[in-house]
């Protein structure tokens, strides 16, 4: 058990599907301001790990502590409310609404104001939309219909929709899939920017991109952690070369 306090504190996490351990006694500690990238071959357990953190899958054993809250017994909704945001690979935005409206409707329930004619935007929400739109590089596209955005811009918008909920931990699954080279560059800058003040976990296969963004890399294999460190450290680890990077 590490002496240091972490934002995310996972110990002895195990999940079995019909006797097969997809995650096997895994320990993982993620700090504030950290952008942790998880790599590993297909079937290593990366997606299952994120599913466990966000409550989509329930652990067979072990603990996931997030800022002193035990997540393993909480519902997916309660986990979102406690400050965990997850973005899947396929963007789920409202194509017929404007960029502004997509961000506006993502403001957390209970803090929004619904009038008789539908959603009413308060000054507080408007100000928040502006801040987030700037963070995701879409401040000049607020009035544009979201369906008309490029593939990359749609991905950024979805990240923005998560940021509207002010998550302390943000988890992204292959954020640059299908993006152009320029969009990848901008996404690297975006992720480094939004990581400040929170923690992030990103699953990614593109090693050049991993090098650009990662504070620390975790290599998974067969439901366990095979190696952890900087990209240079894990890339030169013989165990990693053997099972993954050497392929």
What minimum distance in Å lies between the beta carbon of 148 and ligand ADP? Answer: 32
Q: Do residues 64 and 53 lie in contact, with contact meaning Cβ atoms separated by under 8 Å?
A: yes
Strand order in the sheet with 216-221: 84-87, 169-173, 199-203, 35-39, 216-221, 224-229
**3-class state of residue 54 by DSSP:** coil
The set of residues, in sequence order, having a beta carbon less than 8 Å from that of 131 and lying 6+ positions away, is none
Q: What are phi and psi of 74, to 5 degrees?
A: -95, 155
Of 30, 48, 155, 188, which one interacts with ligand ADP (CB under 6 A)? 48
Out of 30, 36, 47, 104, the only residue in the binding site for ligand ADP (CB under 6 A) is 47
User: CB of residue 244 vs ligand ADP: minimum separation in angstroms?
Assistant: 11
Instruction: By CB under 6 A, tell whether 44 contacts ligand ADP.
Output: yes
**Size of the residue set binding ligand ADP (CB under 6 A):** 10
Shortest Å distance, C-beta 133 to ligand ADP = 31
Look up residue 83 and give its two tokens: 């400050």
Is residue 40 a contact residue for ligand ADP (CB under 6 A)? yes
Among 42, 115, 246, 247, binds ligand ADP (CB under 6 A): 42
Residue 17 in the binding site for ligand ADP (CB under 6 A): yes
Among 22, 37, 64, 214, binds ligand ADP (CB under 6 A): 22
119 interacts with ligand ADP by CB under 6 A: no
Establish if 91 lies at the interface with ligand ADP (CB under 6 A): no
For residues 45 and 160, which CB has a smaller minimum distance to ligand ADP in the complex? 45
CB 13 within 8 A of CB 64: yes
- Residue 84 CA to residue 162 CA, distance in Å, equals 9
Query: Any residues with CB less than 8 A from the CB of 246 and at least 6 apart, and which?
Result: none
Instruction: Give the residues lining the site for ligand ADP (CB under 6 A).
Output: 17, 22, 40, 42-48
């Amino acid at each position: 058990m590490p002496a240091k306090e972490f934002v995310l504190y996972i110990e002895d996490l195990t999940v079995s599907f019909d006797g097969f351990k997809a995650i096997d006694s895994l320990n993982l500690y993620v700090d504030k301001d950290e952008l942790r990238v998880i790599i590993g071959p297909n079937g290593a357990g990366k997606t299952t790990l994120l599913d466990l953190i966000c409550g989509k899958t329930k652990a067979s054993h072990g603990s996931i502590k997030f800022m002193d809250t035990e997540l393993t017994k909480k519902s997916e909704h309660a986990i979102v409310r406690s400050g965990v945001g997850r973005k899947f690979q396929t963007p789920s935005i409202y194509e017929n609404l404007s960029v502004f409206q997509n961000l506006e409707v993502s403001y957390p329930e209970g803090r929004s104001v619904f009038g008789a004619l539908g959603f009413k935007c308060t000054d507080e929400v408007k100000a928040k939309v502006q801040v987030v739109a700037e963070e995701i590089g879409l401040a000049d596209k607020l009035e544009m219909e979201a369906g008309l955005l490029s593939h990359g811009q749609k991905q950024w918008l979805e990240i923005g929709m998560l940021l509207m909920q002010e998550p302390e931990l943000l988890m992204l699954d292959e954020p640059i899939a299908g993006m152009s080279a320029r969009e990848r560059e901008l996404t690297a800058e975006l992720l480094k920017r939004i990581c400040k003040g929170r923690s992030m976990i990103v699953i990614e296969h593109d090693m050049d991109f991993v090098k650009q963004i990662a504070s620390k890399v975790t290599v998974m294999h067969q439901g366990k952690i095979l190696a952890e460190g900087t990209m240079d450290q894990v890339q030169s680890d013989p165990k990693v070369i053997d099972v993954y990077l050497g392929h």
